[in-house]
Amino acid sequence: MPDAPTFREGLTVVARGIRDEPRTFALAVVGSAVFGASLAGSGWVLGQVTDRYLVPAFRAGEVEAGQAWAAAGAMALVGTLTAIGVIVRRGYATVTQYRLQARYRRSVSRQYLRLPLAWHHRHPTGQLLSNANADVEAAFAIFAPLPFSFGVVVMLFVAGFSMFTADPVLASVAFVVLPLLVVANGFYQRAMAPRVAHAQQLRADVSDVAHESFEGALVVKTLGRETEETERFAARAHELRRANVSVGRARAAFEPVIEALPTLGTLVVLAVGTLRVSSGAIEAGTVVQVAYQLTLLAFPVRAIGWVLAELPRAAVGWRRVGSVLDATGRMQHGSAALPAAPEGRELVVRGLDHDVVDPDGSVQRLLHGIDMDVPAGSTVAVVGSTGSGKSTLTSLLVRLVDPVSGRVSLDGTDVRDVAPGGLSASVAYVPQTTFVFDDTVRGNITLGLEDGPLAVGDDEVWAALRAARAESFVAALPAGLDTRVGERGASLSGGQRQRLAIARALVRRPSVLVLDDATSAVDPTVEREILDGLRDTAGVTVVVVAYRRSTIALADQVVHVEHGRVVDRGTHEELMSRDETYRHLVEAYARDAAEREKLAAGGKG
């Protein structure tokens, strides 16, 4: 038996699954009961056939055709019922298992989408993939053998009643084997439970390491870390191998014993039965019946053992799945609707504080009392050194995370009070790390706007591409809008991916556009054209994290951020004249950009 807490947790998972899929599970149990009763009844039929037809035939030296057909018909009927039971049991048990796995994979995926980014930052992606796949599978794999175990309980009672009815003495001899089987199974499950739980945890660890290595493939290769990463993965893989070998050794030690006990019991039954037949106490068919049904009784014990073996896996799997489903911190929404904004929206930030929890549990404040006003239809550049809090600020503006204190409002409405979907319909965000799906250019831009009332056509897609200065390179692609760009846009350059991301934001016709260093890979001339076009576009308020002097100069206002605080604000010229730190920062960026352009020109030469 598994330990008591694990056993109870496993039963809780079973109860949850039966509650979620009662109809298909009930049909699987009915099929299993038919199978168990038919298989146990086949022993009684076999005993009757032996006494009524086979023994008389041996004595007479001939078999009557009618008797042969009757015996064959009886066996065929039992075989047919058994086959029907097997088909119904396996079919509906499989349906139950995979429906539950699909249901909870969807639940986990929906929870991932509901939980805020702050929660995701604390959980490795590989672990989350394992939760949604291997852990869900482990939690509900028990529903494959579970209906079978119900059926074999029926078999146990039918066979036991039949054996004692046929001959109590032989039945008593046969049933001596059952306690030994139960004890052996108990030791088996105690040995298996911790080994299975450990192996399940290691599967998640291996997935985590593999995902991290694949995600960082560019870093791994450019730094020549292939050997180290291979060794890191191999170390975890070897741990998993050792855990699986330990599971296999436990099986190898106990399963032969469990297999041998019914066989030894059958031999004892045959020996005792032969003596009782010789003394005339019973007929030969009774010995055949009891011996056959004893071999069947090993099935119930083994089947219950299979279920007990799956309980630790189900408990561990559900523990990990449940930790996701029970996770708190999901964002709360109000019911406010944002009015139409033909001139763009006013963005106001007041007293914004934000913390981040480090892996060691310590709290670090990233933003301190940020105040910022962005008039409707204007362009504001956020400038600061690396680590000053610019990206954190942009993530708060679009409500990827909520601040510790303070508020962000659009046209006077706190973004936390906006109804679900209202913010994403008005505010578009292009992060500094561009993600492109393995889809066509059109699919990457329309993304969610393919159908329904908000569907956009090709004319609107091309208009967005023109605004993002991506029209020319998309038109030159082999299939234009229908060109597949590969995983993460592998067939495109960094600047092309950024322009597609900008077009994806613009096609949604946002009233507020937030660009977090979203043009860093774009040629400076193209960047100026993009931002100049956005600045002249009516109905769009633009907040851009910028580095290049030419980009900053296009903004109506510049907000200088350092160490999580707003240290100055004004036009570019005003800050250049009075803010020495700002001036040095912009000049440093300008020198760096000039050097990179010089190196690029040299490389081309």
> How is residue 201 written in tokens?
């945890």
Distances (CA, A) of 584 to 30, 106, 581, 588, 591: 80, 52, 5, 6, 10
Could you give all domains of the chain from N- to C-terminal order, each with its CATH number? 4-325 (1.20.1560.10), 347-604 (3.40.50.300)
3-state SS assignment for residue 540? coil
For residue 271, give the nearest of 291, 295, 298, 289 by alpha carbon: 291
For residue 125, give the nearest of 225, 204, 22, 13 by alpha carbon: 204
Distances (CA, A) of 523 to 441, 489, 544, 593: 21, 19, 16, 11
Mean pLDDT by 10 residues, the chain (605 residues): 64 85 88 76 64 61 63 74 82 88 87 77 72 80 79 72 73 71 69 72 76 70 76 84 82 71 73 77 71 66 67 77 76 81 84 78 82 88 86 87 88 87 85 82 80 75 84 84 78 81 86 82 75 73 83 85 90 88 81 62 49
Instruction: Order the strands of the 565-570 sheet from edge to edge.
Output: 427-430, 512-516, 541-545, 379-383, 557-562, 565-570
3-state SS assignment for residue 232? helix
pLDDT given at position 502: 87
Q: DSSP character for 302?
A: H
3-state SS assignment for residue 366? strand
Contact partners, residue 121, CB within 8 Å, separation at least 6: 356
> How is residue 454 written in tokens?
């908000």
Q: DSSP character for 389?
A: S
| φ, ψ of residue 339 in degrees (nearest 5) | -70, 165
**Cα–Cα distance, 155 to 87 (Å, whole number):** 17
> How is residue 528 written in tokens?
């100026």
pLDDT given at position 178: 67
For residue 51, give the nearest of 79, 71, 81, 80 by alpha carbon: 71
8 A C-beta contact, residue 576 and residue 582: yes
Cα angle 449, 452, 453; round to 5: 95
Amino acid 483 reads T
